Structure 1
């Protein structure tokens, strides 16, 4: 779990590391495990020796990091001595940051490939300690730069051209002067970095390891232990009674722990509110958005436009009911695929489909991706004790990105492949174009690269579809992707804003009260008042299942990103002059500018209604195509 950016000094926050936050980098919905899995080959697993050939090499680099942090401490009180002294300190900080990123990647990926290996757990714990030591060692930099002041910093930048590399970072620190404490204050806050993550850690332990999962007997006589992985699989059951049984048992178990999860989430919300207050922000949301200098209008416009576009979601839900042959659509009917298909996509086919799909991004992009996807950058198949889901970590600046999948051979696996390699290519392009200090990029931009690749994959598959059944498979998957990544994540964002606002005002929250807030939003989004879908009150404890809430104001970026991706992909496919160059420039820019500015410069303003209206139009177009096929068949 990553700690909130506000729990670290701003200067270390600028290192925004996907390596540390990989648990939240996965796609919103866990990947099903129902399709057959190929026999794993050595080439289907990543090669971590490209990071460190042995743990002895890891230990040696950790020792070098410790020495660097001691050297960094020697600069305390001296940053304003001269431009050369400031540059020397920033150079040392940048190199130490690159080193700790590499250590983080190795530790996290070693653990993810086999969570039962005690060595990986030990490496992860060491990495967490090193992250905290790094934050403490660098805690003096930001307040000391603020003490030097903008006038003197600008003069130093003019005197030493070598300092120009750090202009954006320095300007960002100066921008945050009202929200930065003195050196002693920032040092004190950094000391709490490990302790204040306890709410998320308790949640993770309880939800992953200690809940006594229920066992149900399905209509075919199969007995299923409903842990989280089984739930994501069996909620798709074709038998409606089985789906209700799965939902009732699974959410009934979460309901038993509603009070406890209410306490853990309330603890996280209080922590976020406290850090916001300490740093002189009016509320938690403003504090979280300011980390990336995101205009509040982005969040506000997303929520407003999503609510305005709820008729599109309701149209989809009514279409789902018709295609499933259900008159009284219920929340447990949300996950069965619109079209049942036994078609499989072996990994080799998935790779080829992806490479064909990204052809509109240019021959250089395709060539680079082709080489990368056939190298040992990826751990492809599920195994016992391997981390579930999918993610990409791109922080190994001098090496390459790493991709984790649990590829099962269904179409969703193929879309996840394209999604995660979209992330990986973002890192490849940014690492190539930017120095290490600006190679890392914000989540606000990151999810655009991945969802644009998904949009391109859909376009290509529709062109290649051999019949209406196959076309319906792709269209149905695209609809569910837009629902899950746009409407659902925007709904979660609205809920998150509501509960944070209450705690920011000093109000207490219990698990039951949180369920009531969530239930009201859940029912409104799914049109219960309009008779579109019925939501059983038991299912309103669903909020407790979602780990993203322990990373404040994160989920909204899935929704903004998929909206931007629809616009970027359509422009690129239409060969709009300058569209491809602007898109690739945005990816290559890494974190060298504020993320909202990068996206806007590439042609999409996420503080305006247009991208969200375009997404709704895209969703309606897909439904038009499905209904045309259904009409042709006399349905």
Structure 2
């Protein structure tokens, strides 16, 4: 996962505050925050850095705008009691709330981007805290809105929309959505209390982040080369891919052995997170926590459960992949969990893709969408919208920040010139062009597109990239490498994320059934899923119980029911990629229309308009079929080479 869209201004715990739009990108994993130091970034060629003056010309201008926005936010509760007076009064109140929010998310965008330029500069981190405090104030000052709106009633609101066309144009979809929450909205006093408790409910994630990113003493491992290396947050991903199998085992044994020491503590934090989500669902009269999570997007629960069911049905294909991996790695005894990461196909000469190469290939790949898409990509490349190269002090990871509706998106990258950098590049630009097309086509109030559609926009780019690279490979070995990368994408994004989704559902259902959770019990649940997905019972892979603390390392479990949408997006992207490659202009139009729709309808409906029903087996079966075809290609190429 290369990016994660988190709400710059999400619905509060209630899921019903008047959060009319959001669009913000953040890294997929929280990155460590080193001790601040008043150190300026090292000089970098401006061509490879973003120009934040499009947001604000200076830090002083940001401060002045924050002060102005804060003063306006303080007055938002003055509209209390006016919503039912007239159509003009309702429009005035919603416009004021939307305008403050629009300014607040732009302020937050600048603060976050500036902080990530150099995480050592204390002033930038403090600015980010000020932006966050503004959202807390906004939530407190608008906690009255939904209860009062619901008291006005649907009939009167529909009458107001008829009387005031601007109300219907800007806020019609949001009003309909707010009215859906009537059965789950509490009294104004209770809503205000829950809104002010937002910081309290965020503490499990905060505690986890402090412990995992700053206080866990990461271990060292002596490799077969004689080198001693530290296995930490930033280096585990590197060393788990080592070609020497004994080294990989040592990395796994040491790293997960270290996490085992924190099983009780992190079991308590994750249990508290799950209990908070179960509490939220119960107090708001949802049948269960999954229903509460999917209700926000008006997503049928059946989509989540269908995903899990179809991933389980596709396990024979996943096991075929694991057997292929064992064969290609030349493993003669049992395949182990530490064998999952090394590349299956080595190249004599490492692939190298400069930033210019990534731009060129990105344009070639997205030409399949037509000139409307490509023109926006060219504009972004020329406009200094991205901070592209790694440097000391810069935050790690990659993400697209698109919350500033009146300004273009920004991209935070750490391009290191390998194939993963190229893939990340086209992925994040998929988010960026999606944002551009949405902003051009929708009013601000409809610019909030769901993660469900967001990741489809970017993963479709990755699918097209892989097909392009296979078609343009210079040798069979290079072609095999790209096919292997696609299999890894399918493993990590479809099967692994669905396993996570099944794990989260199991934890919530345990609490809802009145059962107690502990770190040990959570590890037992996770271990059972690891063994099922990786075929231990049928001899496909052996899972060492020592590795069943892997759940402790994954911050996404503190984001609620979230990661499952990466898996559904992968299934959707596979179909869209084939439709675009083989469906001609009609395929292009269906996909571009989805991107332009933004948040103008619920994601499930938008998918159906584009021809996909994600509550049926068909999209997932198509993805599994693609995975089998990819392995068929590998088998044919290997047979050609006499292997």
- What TM-score, normalized by structure 2, do the two folds share? 0.94
Corresponding residue pairs, total: 622
CA contact (8 A) 2:345 2:480 kept: yes
CA distance in 2, matches of 1:82, 1:488: 52
Closer, same or farther: CA 278–14 of 1 in aligned 2, 3 Å? farther
Do 1:9 and 1:139's aligned partners in 2 also have CA atoms closer than 8 Å? no
Distance apart, 1:68 and its partner CA: 1.6
Query: 1:390·1:404 contact (CA, 8 Å) conserved in 2?
Result: yes
1:230 to 222, 235, 241: 235
Matched, 1:372 2:380: yes
CA change 1:189–1:156 in 2 (3 A) is same
Deviations 1:488-517 (A, max 9, x none): 000000000000111223322111100000
1:15 deviation in Å?
2.5
Once the two structures are superposed, residues 56-101 of structure 1 have per-residue CA deviations (whole angstroms, 9 ceiling, x without a partner) of 1111111121122133211001111111000011111111111011
Shift of 1:8: 4.6
Out of 498, 501, 507, which is 1:499 matched to? 507
Q: Using the alignment, how far apart are the partners of 2:58 and 2:556 within structure 1?
A: 33
User: Any gaps of 5 or more consecutive residues in structure 2?
Assistant: 1-5, 32-42
Q: Within the alignment, does 1:296 sit opposite 2:301 as a pair?
A: yes
Q: Which moved more, 1:477-486 or 1:151-160?
A: 151-160
Cα separation, 2, equivalents of 1:336 and 1:180:
50
Q: Does 1:329 align with 2:305?
A: no
Match of 1:32 in 2: none
Range with bigger deviation, 483-492 or 389-398: 389-398
- The CA deviation at 1:414 is 0.7
8 Å CA contact retained: 2:12, 2:195: no
Match of 1:260 among 259, 265, 268: 265
User: What per-residue deviation string (whole Å, max 9, x for no partner) do you get for residues 530-575 of structure 1?
Assistant: 1111111011000011111101110000000010000011011002
Say whether the 8 Å CA contact 1:6–1:291 is kept in structure 2.
no
Q: Paired residue for 1:553, among 556, 561, 565?
A: 561
**1:460-499 maps to which residues of 2 (within 5 A)?**
460-499=468-507
Q: Secondary structure at the match of 1:425?
A: helix
User: Shift in Å at residue 9 of structure 1?
Assistant: 4.9
Q: Tell me, what secondary structure is at the counterpart of 1:194?
A: helix
2:150 to 116, 125, 146: 146
Verify the 8 A CA contact 2:21 2:444 in the aligned structure 1: no
Q: CA deviation at 1:466?
A: 1.0
In structure 2, the partner of 1:191 is 196
User: Could you tell me how far apart the structure 1 residues matched to 2:78 and 2:19 are?
Assistant: 21
Q: What is the distance in 1 between the residues matched to 2:482 and 2:19? A: 40
List alignment gaps of at least 5 residues for structure 1: 28-38
Instruction: Identify which of 591, 595, 600 aligns with 1:587.
Output: 595
Q: Does the CA contact (< 8 Å) of 2:12 and 2:139 recur in 1?
A: no
Runs of 4+ in 1 over 3 A off after TM superposition: 1-6, 11-14, 23-27
Aligned to 1:33: none
The 5 Å alignment of 1:88-107 reads: 88-107=92-111
Give the 3-state SS of the residue equivalent to 1:388 in structure 2.
Answer: coil
1:127 aligns with 2:135: no
2:548 counterpart SS class: helix
Describe the SS at the equivalent of 1:224: strand
**Separation in structure 2 between the aligned mates of residue 463 and residue 161 of structure 1, nearest angstrom:** 51
Greater CA drift, 465-474 or 575-584:
575-584
Cα separation, 2, equivalents of 1:5 and 1:313: 37
SS in 2 for 1:216: strand
Show the counterpart of 1:31: none
Give the distance between the partners of 1:25 and 1:245, measured in 2 at CA: 25
Matches of 2:60 and 2:471 in 1, distance apart? Answer: 51
Give the aligned CA root-mean-square deviation in angstroms. 1.6
Contact 1:237/1:243, CA 8 A, preserved across alignment: yes
Shift, 1:578, TM fit: 2.1
Q: 1:4 to 1:228 in 2, by over 3 A?
A: same
Deviation string 1:297-342 (CA, Å, 9 cap, x unpaired) is: 1001000000000001000000011111012210000000111231
Among candidates 317, 328, 333, match of residue 312 of structure 1: 317
* Aligned pair partner of 1:10 in 6, 16, 20: 16
